[in-house]
A and B are shown apart, each in its own frame.
Chain A
Amino acid sequence: MVTMSELHKYGRTKLIMPGTAACPGCPLQIGLRQLIMALEGKLTLVIPAGCSSVIPGAAPYTSFTVPVMHVPFASSPSVASGLVRALRARGVDGHVVVWAGDGATADIGFAALSGAAYRNEDIIYILADNEAYMNTGIQASGTTPKKAWTTTSPRGKAEDKKDVALIMLMHKVPYVATASIAYPIDFIDKVRRAASIRGFKFIHLHAPCPPGWKFPDDYTVKVARLAVETGMWILWEYYQGKLTISPPSAPYRDKQRRKPIEEYIRIQGRFAQLSKDDVREIEAMVDQEWGVLMRLANIFNIS
Chain B
Amino acid sequence: MIKVSSIYVKYLLSRPAMGAGGKTGTWRVRKPIVNLDKCIKCGLCWLYCPENAIDWLEDKTVTIDYDYCKGCGICVDVCPVKAISMIDERVV
Contacts and interface: CB of A to CB of B under 8 A. Distances in A.
Nearest to A65: B16
Given A55-B21, A184-B48, 6 more contacts: A8-B43, A11-B55, A12-B57, A14-B52, A20-B20, A218-B77
A25 B58 contact: no
Contacts of B14: 56, 59-62
Contact of A20 (B13, B21, B71, B78): B21
A18 B50 CA distance: 9
Specify which of B11, B27, B51, B60 lies most central, judged by the most chain A CB atoms within 10 Å of its CB: B51
Contacts of B73: 25, 216-218
Interface string B73-86: 11011100000000
Nearest to B14: A62
B74 to A, nearest CB: 6
Contacts, number: 138
A18 B72 contact: no
Interface string A35-75: 00000000000000000000111111111110000000000
Contacts of A21: 20-22
B89 interface: no
Interface of B: 11-24, 27, 42-43, 46-53, 55-58, 60, 65, 67-74, 76-78
A4 B58 CA distance: 13
16 contacts: A4-B42, A12-B55, A19-B51, A22-B50, A24-B72, A25-B73, A30-B74, A33-B50, A59-B14, A60-B13, A61-B20, A62-B16, A62-B20, A63-B21, A184-B47, A217-B72
Please report whether the interface of chain B is mostly helix, strand, loop or mixed according to DSSP: loop
Contacts of B60: 8, 11
The 5 A-B pairs at the shortest CB distance, nearest first, are namely A57-B20, A218-B73, A11-B56, A21-B21, A19-B19
Contacts of B43: 4, 7-8, 11
Could you say which interface size class chain A belongs to? 35 or more
Contact of B16 (A7, A29, A34, A64): A64
Contact of A221 (B16, B42, B48, B71): B48
A111 B36 CA distance: 52
Given A7-B47, A184-B48, A17 B72 contact: no
Contact of B20 (A11, A19, A222): A19
A30 B76 CA distance: 15
Contacts of B74: 25, 30, 217-218, 220-221
A281 B49 CA distance: 35
A26 B83 CA distance: 22
A29 B47 CA distance: 11
A211 to B, nearest CB: 11
Interface string A3-15: 0100110011011
